[in-house]
């Protein structure tokens, strides 16, 4: 082994490196202490699982930056019909996700990712006001009419309003899940998940099949929602809403962060988080205020261009 640190983004010779295949990348993340970043390092530092097994603990530590005392036989992921395991080095892996911090090395996908379709994330609180539900639907409908896919999380409130409006408008929508793609949650939205698939959309997750959501996976999926999207639109959220994490990810990823906030709705406590994004921002970056439908259309046209 050479002492040179392998590049995390050296994917030009992925076909010659077995560890750059989707199944192997997923298997790497099953090793104790190995997350996405370390899995990418290992995939660039070793050509095969056998080579990783045969390497000394010191060589593994040099590449991964973590102790890997023992490597078992490679676990083989079960990929049933209708599900795809998409790896970081695969041609159909979204380019937008490759550019973010801590990109998922393997995505479980039902449906089509459609890398060439521009997308916008429409997110917000689960317990949303009537104003916010209507606004989310209007944004998703306009995005659909302009050929921009709608990304959200299938949750109650803003998420499902955005998905359903995109479906009704004949648009394409993608649900990023904190559960396995074979067990979309909440269960109340199973019919919506099927409609998403039937209309050419997709269900995407980085957690294994059969997994139930938990607070960690739900926060982690938020970075994928914003990472997939040209812009993240926070329709309405409180100060302690998980949507604030999505806003933070969007700013960290260099995505546009927008808030549709007519003056009449600014004082609502249900909108305190959105108001904070406009007034204070994230990391000294304030959200863009969408004051009108014209502002929204300008944003969507930028995504589509």
**Domain CATH number, residue 220:** 3.40.50.450
In a shared domain, residues 48 and 161: no
Give the integer Cα–Cα distance in Å for 15 and 65.
25
Burial (CB count <10 Å: 0-12, 13-18, 19+), residue 283: exposed
In a shared domain, residues 159 and 293: yes
In a shared domain, residues 18 and 119: no
In a shared domain, residues 138 and 228: yes
Give the integer Cα–Cα distance in Å for 246 and 225.
8
Question: Strand 106-111 to strand 202-205: parallel, antiparallel, or no bridges (unpaired)?
Answer: antiparallel
Give the integer Cα–Cα distance in Å for 104 and 24.
13
Burial (CB count <10 Å: 0-12, 13-18, 19+), residue 80: exposed
Rg of the chain taking only CA atoms, in angstroms:
20
- CA atoms 260, 266, 268, 269: torsion sign: positive
In a shared domain, residues 182 and 296: yes
Domain membership flag for residue 98: no
| pLDDT at residue 303 in the model | 86
Rounding to the nearest 10 degrees, give the CA dihedral for residues 222, 225, 227, 230: -140
Question: What are the structure tokens assigned to 130, written together?
Answer: 């009537």
φ/ψ (deg, to 5) at 237: -160, 155
CB 109 within 8 A of CB 203: yes
CB 222 within 8 A of CB 249: yes
| pLDDT at residue 299 in the model | 95
* Preceding peptide of 112 cis, ω within 30°: no
Domain membership flag for residue 100: no
**Residue whose structure tokens are 């999207």:** 229
| pLDDT at residue 22 in the model | 96
Domain membership flag for residue 2: no
| pLDDT at residue 290 in the model | 94
Domain membership flag for residue 81: no
Domain membership flag for residue 167: yes
Domain membership flag for residue 8: no
Domain, as residue range, for 200: 111-304
Give the integer Cα–Cα distance in Å for 222 and 232.
11
pTM for the model: 0.90
Domain membership flag for residue 178: yes
| pLDDT at residue 140 in the model | 98
CB 151 within 8 A of CB 225: yes
pLDDT averaged per 10 residues in sequence order, the chain, 305 residues: 35 63 96 94 94 94 92 93 95 92 96 84 94 95 96 97 98 97 96 97 96 94 96 93 94 95 67 89 90 94 85
In a shared domain, residues 59 and 165: no
In a shared domain, residues 115 and 215: yes
Total number of domains constituting the chain: 2
| pLDDT at residue 265 in the model | 58
- 43: which DSSP letter? H
| pLDDT at residue 262 in the model | 65
Domain membership flag for residue 260: yes
φ/ψ (deg, to 5) at 86: -105, 120
């Amino acid at each position: 082994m050479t002492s040179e640190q392998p590049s995390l983004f050296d994917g030009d010779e992925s076909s010659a490196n077995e560890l750059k295949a989707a199944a192997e990348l997923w298997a790497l993340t099953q090793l104790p202490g190995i997350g996405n970043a370390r899995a990418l390092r290992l995939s660039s530092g070793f050509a095969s699982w056998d080579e990783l097994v045969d390497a000394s603990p010191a060589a593994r530590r040099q590449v991964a930056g973590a102790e890997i005392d023992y490597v078992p036989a490679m676990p083989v992921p079960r990929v049933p019909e209708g599900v795809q395991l998409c790896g970081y080095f695969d041609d159909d892996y979204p380019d937008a996700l490759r550019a973010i911090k801590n990109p998922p090395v393997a995505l479980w996908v039902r449906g089509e990712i459609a890398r060439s379709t521009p997308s916008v994330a429409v997110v917000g609180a689960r317990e949303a006001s009537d104003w916010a539900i209507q606004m989310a639907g209007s944004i998703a409908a306009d995005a659909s009419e302009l050929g921009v896919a709608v990304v959200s999380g299938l949750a109650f409130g803003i998420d499902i309003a955005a998905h359903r409006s995109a479906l009704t408008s004949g648009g394409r929508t993608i649900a990023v899940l904190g559960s396995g793609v074979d067990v979309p949650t909440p269960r109340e939205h199973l019919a919506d998940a099927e409609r998403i698939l039937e209309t050419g959309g997709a269900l995407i997750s980085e957690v294994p099949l059969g997994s139930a959501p938990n607070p960690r996976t739900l926060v982690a999926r938020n970075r994928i929602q914003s990472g997939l999207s040209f812009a993240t639109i926070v329709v309405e959220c409180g100060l302690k809403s998980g949507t604030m994490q999505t806003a933070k990810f969007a700013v960290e990823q260099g995505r546009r962060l927008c808030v549709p906030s007519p003056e009449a709705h600014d004082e609502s406590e249900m909108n305190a988080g959105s108001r904070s994004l406009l007034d204070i921002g994230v990391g000294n970056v304030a959200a863009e205020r969408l004051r009108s439908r014209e502002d929204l259309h300008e944003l969507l046209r930028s995504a589509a261009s």
